[in-house]
Structure 1
Amino acid sequence: MTAHIGITHVAFHLPEHVDDVRNWGKRTQQDSTTVRRLERAGVRYYHDANGQSAISLAAKATGSLMNASRIAPDTIDCLVYVHTLQGSVAPPPLSLPHMLCDQFDFTNAQAFSFAQQHCASALGALRVIRATFTAHPDMRRVLLAGADVMPLESERLMQSGGLLSDGAFAALIERDAPVNRLLTLATSASGLGWRGTLGGEEQRLAGQYFFAARNLIGQAAHNARYTLDDIQRILPHHLDLPAWRRLLSSLGLPGDRLFTKNFSRIGHVTVSDAFINLAECNDLVSGKPFLLFAQGVGGFSAAALFIR
């Protein structure tokens, strides 16, 4: 029997240094067309780690969660670390998950990382975490943490859909949670996007991701026996706001179902966007479903339906 799990606490950390897309464009010698396209996509500001490491950001998010939840460190049974960028892990023989466990005295926690689905890894990891709960009936708590830091300013560009921002999140996932209970999880891994940063691919891939998102959102609702109209909020990744608005229109949903607060003020925080939005969305109604969505380069997409 599949374990019933949910997110009882969530926290995030964003570096204090904030910059805007026009300054970034000047420093990295982008043409004006690129900057205008980013602004049309909803981009304005982003957070810059300014020399801070991924472990530093992850530790700050984890510390915030532990302080807010007031749980004992030795009650964490497992820690799962997710990331997108290759530089967001400690070099061997070091282990970033192990470093977090040491720093916070998670003495009873098994620990591993999951990054194979890139920006969709945080939601993809929920499938692994749920299976782990099912396989281990005594397991009560898992801490899911994610962080990414971009070392090269010029590489922050996410095609024309967004600008990568540095940041981290931490989420406490518990068995039989009273809130934010996971109902269904739908994922897609086509592999067709690996050439997405090469010339001539962008338009085709934009269509691929659009239809994948549409199908996954519908699948998640259907599998939980809800209609699309039952979904009170969609908490998205912060890429291509106009495309998101077209997507909701194609689903027959009003635009205000999309949580848009953080597109312009935060930017795209790789694995963290959906969880940052969960922490900041204060109008979720108890007893109604809401959806987290993420997509990653390489053709990965994930939609997770929860009930408040």
Structure 2
Amino acid sequence: MIPDLGIPHVAFHLPQCVDDVRSWGQRTGQSTTTVVQLERAGMRYYRKANGQTAIGLAASAIQRLLLTSGIARREVDCIVYVHTLQGSVAPPPHSLPGLLCDRFGFVNAEAFSFAQQHCASALAALRVIRAMFIARPHMKRVLLVGADVMPLASERLMQAEGILGDGAFAAFIERGAAVNRLLAIAMHASGLGWQGVLANDESRLAAQNFFTARSLIRQTVQQARFTLDDIQRILPHHLDLPAWHRLLDSLQVPHDRLFAENFARIGHVTVSDAFINLAQCEGLVAGRPLLLFARGIGGFSAAALLVR
């Protein structure tokens, strides 16, 4: 039996330092064409850590989550840490999830990390967490946390689709939660994107990403026995806003269903985009579904359908 899970509490932390795309382009020697393409993709600003570490950002997000939720630390059964960048984990023999357990006193929590789906790892982790709840009837609450810090300013460019900002999120996944109940998850993995941002055949990958996203959204909605018309909001990853508009047109979904405010003011925060949007999207109607979507380099995509 699939357990009734939900995401009742979400928090995030963004570094205080805000930079703009044009200044970044000048400092890193980008062409005017690249900067213009980023602006057309919806990018304006991003956050940079300025010396803060991934564990520091993750700890700030967890601290906010504990304060706003009122959950006792002994009531956390497991921590799942997700990330994209290899520098966002502690070097052996340390364990970043273990360090978080020590810092916050999560004495009853198991801990592990999950990064194989790159930027789609946070949503893909929901499937792993759901399997854990099925296998362990005693489990009540999992802390899902993600963080990334880009060490090199010149590496923030995600082709012409967006710019990578630093940040972290934390969320409680709970059995029997009354809000943001998890209805369906769908994932896609393709070896065609194995070169990631270094790939030269951008048009082929863009077409693949388009059709994959369309298929996943339809599949997820159908799994939950809803229609596309039922979706009240889509909470996207912050890459290529015009491509999102084309995708919505192909699905015949109005553009105002897309929560797009964070493209310009935050940029793409790897594993965190969907959960930052979940924390900030206001006016959600109880009983109606909303869709979270993420795409990672290497041909990974994931979608999750929640009901408010």
TM range (shorter): over 0.9
Deviation of 1:158 after TM superposition, in Å, equals 0.2
Q: Specify the SS of the correspondent of 2:116.
A: coil
Separation (CA, whole Å) in 2 of partners of 1:215 and 1:14? 32
The amino acid of 2:106's aligned partner reads F
Matched residue, 2:125: 125
Aligned: 1:216 with 2:212:
no
Residues 3 and 131 of structure 1 are in contact (CA less than 8 Å); yes or no, is this contact kept in structure 2?
no
Matched residue, 2:257: 257
TM-score (norm 1): 0.99
Residues 183 and 307 of structure 1 are in contact (CA less than 8 Å); yes or no, is this contact kept in structure 2?
yes
Matched residue, 2:175: 175
Q: Specify the SS of the correspondent of 1:204.
A: helix
Separation (CA, whole Å) in 2 of partners of 1:23 and 1:143? 36
Separation (CA, whole Å) in 2 of partners of 1:117 and 1:70? 31
Deviation of 1:200 after TM superposition, in Å, equals 2.7
The amino acid of 2:146's aligned partner reads G
Deviation of 1:267 after TM superposition, in Å, equals 0.3
Residues 193 and 199 of structure 2 are in contact (CA less than 8 Å); yes or no, is this contact kept in structure 1?
no
Separation (CA, whole Å) in 2 of partners of 1:34 and 1:45? 15
Deviation of 1:197 after TM superposition, in Å, equals 2.8
**Residues 181-218 of structure 1 deviation map (CA, whole Å, 9 limit, x = unaligned):** 00000100012101233353111111111110000000
Residues 196 and 205 of structure 1 are in contact (CA less than 8 Å); yes or no, is this contact kept in structure 2?
no
Separation (CA, whole Å) in 1 of partners of 2:146 and 2:282? 22
Residues 117 and 300 of structure 2 are in contact (CA less than 8 Å); yes or no, is this contact kept in structure 1?
yes
Q: Specify the SS of the correspondent of 1:197.
A: helix
Deviation of 1:139 after TM superposition, in Å, equals 0.4
**Residues 148-176 of structure 1 deviation map (CA, whole Å, 9 limit, x = unaligned):** 00000000000000000000000001001
Matched residue, 1:307: 307
Separation (CA, whole Å) in 2 of partners of 1:148 and 1:198? 20
Residues 147 and 272 of structure 1 are in contact (CA less than 8 Å); yes or no, is this contact kept in structure 2?
yes
1:81-120 correspondence to structure 2 within 5 Å: 81-120=81-120
Aligned: 1:67 with 2:73:
no
Deviation of 1:3 after TM superposition, in Å, equals 1.3
Separation (CA, whole Å) in 2 of partners of 1:152 and 1:190? 27
Separation (CA, whole Å) in 2 of partners of 1:253 and 1:116? 31
TM-score (norm 2): 0.99
Separation (CA, whole Å) in 2 of partners of 1:75 and 1:32? 52
Matched residue, 1:16: 16
Separation (CA, whole Å) in 2 of partners of 1:199 and 1:177? 42
Post-superposition, which runs of at least 4 consecutive aligned residues in structure 1 deviate over 3 A? none
Tell me which moved more, 213-222 or 187-196.
Answer: 187-196
- Runs of 5+ unmatched residues, structure 1: none
**Residues 5-59 of structure 1 deviation map (CA, whole Å, 9 limit, x = unaligned):** 1101000000000000000000000010000000000000000000100000000
The amino acid of 2:45's aligned partner reads Y
Q: Note the aligned Cα RMSD (angstroms).
A: 0.6
Deviation of 1:4 after TM superposition, in Å, equals 1.4
The amino acid of 2:256's aligned partner reads D
Aligned residues: 308
Separation (CA, whole Å) in 2 of partners of 1:25 and 1:303? 32
Matched residue, 1:156: 156
Separation (CA, whole Å) in 2 of partners of 1:240 and 1:199? 17
Separation (CA, whole Å) in 2 of partners of 1:211 and 1:198? 21
Separation (CA, whole Å) in 1 of partners of 2:68 and 2:102? 20
